[in-house]
Structure 1
Amino acid sequence: MKTLLYRSFIGIFFGAFIAVILTNSVVLFSGREMLDGQLFLKNSLGSIFCGWFFTVTPLFFENVNLRLSQQTALHFFTVVILYFILAFGIGWVPFTVKSFLLTLGLFIVSYSVFWTSFYFYFKKQAERLNAELQGL
């Protein structure tokens, strides 16, 4: 429970940070002097929620009762479902078949790159730790 709360706060703060960075970028680079308050609130809350679920859902990978394939499937489907509900609801992705398939394809590619990177990183860490244990 402590880990869930800690990760929740980290995700919420990270999502809020991303929202501030994006908002400042829009103001700075688009030349806009005024922002739509309702649109800002909707996008900021979406970014905060997105940050929250992207930091909480990796807890699936800490469940030792599940195989890596099960952990990955649970994480992937949870994140995809939550992201697309959020993205369609807020309007980040237009509600069309073409935009859904394009976004899903990009999501799968991004997810695969991140998953593979983390897999090899932790595999390398395990090899390093095993080598250090062998040296004892």
Structure 2
Amino acid sequence: MKTFLVRSLIGIFFGAFIAVLATNSLVYFADEKVLDGGLFLRNSLGSIFCGWLFSVTPLYFEIRSLSLFQQTGLHFVTAMAAYFILAYQIGWIPAGTASILLFLIITLAIYAVIWICFYLYFKNQSRKLNEELLHIE
């Protein structure tokens, strides 16, 4: 529970930081002098929720009773379903079949690349640790 709370706070703060960074970038680079308050609130709360969501869903990978396939499946379904609903409601994903299919294709591709990178990284780390264990006297 402590890990969940710590990760929740980190995710919330990171999401808020991203929202402030995006808003400041919009004001500075796009030369927007006036912001729509309702739109700002909706987007910043969405960013905060995304920060929380993507910081707590990796906890599935710490449940040792689940196989890697189960952990990955639960993580993907939970994170992507919640993100899709949020992004669609906020307007980050435009309405329409083509937009939804494009979102799914891009999401699957990015998720696969990130998952493979993490898998290879941790496989390499475990190989190094096993080699070091063999050299212990």
- TM-score if structure 1 supplies the norm length? 0.97
Amino acid at match of 1:22: A
- Quote the RMSD (CA, aligned, Å): 0.7
Residue deviations 1:26-69 (CA, integer Å, cap 9, x gap)? 11111111111111110000000001010100011111101100
Task: In structure 1, list runs of 5 or more residues that go unmatched.
Answer: none
Q: Distance in 2 between matches of 1:12 and 1:127?
A: 35
Q: CA deviation at 1:96?
A: 1.2
> Which residue of the partner structure matches residue 41 of structure 1?
41
Letter paired with 1:14: F
Residue aligned with 2:66, SS: coil
In 2, the alpha carbon distance for the partners of 1:17 and 1:131 equals: 41
Letter in 2 for 1:65: S
Matches within 5 A, 1:44-59: 44-59=44-59
Aligned to 1:72: 72
- Give the AA of the match of 1:80: M
Aligned equivalent of 1:82: 82
Instruction: Give the secondary-structure state (helix, strand or coil) at the position aligned to 2:95.
Output: coil
Residues 59-102 of structure 1: per-residue CA shift (max 9 Å, x gap):
11111101100100000011111011100111110121110000
**What is the TM-score normalised by the length of structure 2?**
0.97
Q: Provide the identity percentage.
A: 59
The amino acid that maps onto 1:19 is A
Report what 1:103 is aligned to.
103
Unaligned runs of 5+ in 2: none
Give the residue type in structure 1 aligned to 2:45.
L
Mapped to 1, the partners of 2:18 and 2:113 lie a distance apart of 21
Where in structure 1 do 4 or more consecutive aligned residues deviate above 6 Å?
none
- Residue 129 (structure 1) aligns with: 129
How many pairs were matched up?
A: 136
